[in-house]
Amino acid sequence: MNSMNSMISDIKAALSPLETSEPAFRQIAAVVKPDGIHGALAYLKNKGFTQLCILTCIDWIEDSQFELVYILFSWTDGIHIQLRARIDREKPFFTTVTDIFPGARYYEREVHEFFGVEFCGNEDLYKPLFLELWDDIPPLRKDFDPQAYSDSKFPMRENANEFLSMTGGGDDE
C-alpha cells in the first residue's frame, strides 16, 4: 500500500469523514462535520501536518451554508490535506482553532471580514485586517452587490468630451 492510500486509510479510521478524495497529486481532501474540525486538526498536527497553509471560506448561498476549508501541509511527507466543514450561513459561528494553530488568528480575521463568520475565542477577530471603516455586508458573500456599494459610496462623474477628444478617444474618430 502506498503512503497516500495508507494516509487515507488512517484518516478514515481516525476521523470518520463524510467523504474523502484525492483532488490532485499528493493531496487529500476530507469533509467532516463541523464539530469534528478541532479533533481532526489536532490529530493531523500530531501526525506531522504542522503547517496551516490557509483557512478560507466558500459561500454556498443556494444551500444557505458556508464551507470552511483548512489546508495543512506535512513537510515530512510533502502531502497537503484539505479539511472541509459546512456551517450555517445565517448564523455563521465557529470556535477558533488558534489553540491548535496560533497563526490561524489572521486567517480567521480575514474570513470574518470577507464572509462574516464569527470565530468564538479569537481575541483579535474585530481588529480590522483589510477593511477599515467597512460599513456594508462582507464583500465576498454572494449576496453582496459591488455595483450598489460603489454607487452609494462614490459619486458619478461625467467624462468631459473635450478631454476625450484631446487624448484621441471618444466618438469623433
- Range with lowest mean pLDDT among 9-13, 59-63, 64-68, 159-163: 159-163
The domain locations on the chain are: 3-156
Q: If you average pLDDT over residues 77-101, what whole number do you get?
A: 97
Instruction: Please state, rounded to an integer, the average pLDDT across all residues of the chain.
Output: 90
Give 1's pLDDT tier (boundaries 50, 70, 90): very low
Length of the chain: 173
What the block records as the C-alpha cell of 91 is 448564523
What predicted TM-score, i.e. pTM, was given to this entire model?
0.86
pLDDT digits (tens, 9 = 90+) for 46-76: 999 999 999 999 999 999 999 999 999 999 9
Q: CATH topology for 3-156?
A: Beta Polymerase; domain 2 (3.30.460)
Max CA separation in the chain (angstroms): 73
What the block records as the C-alpha cell of 107 is 486567517
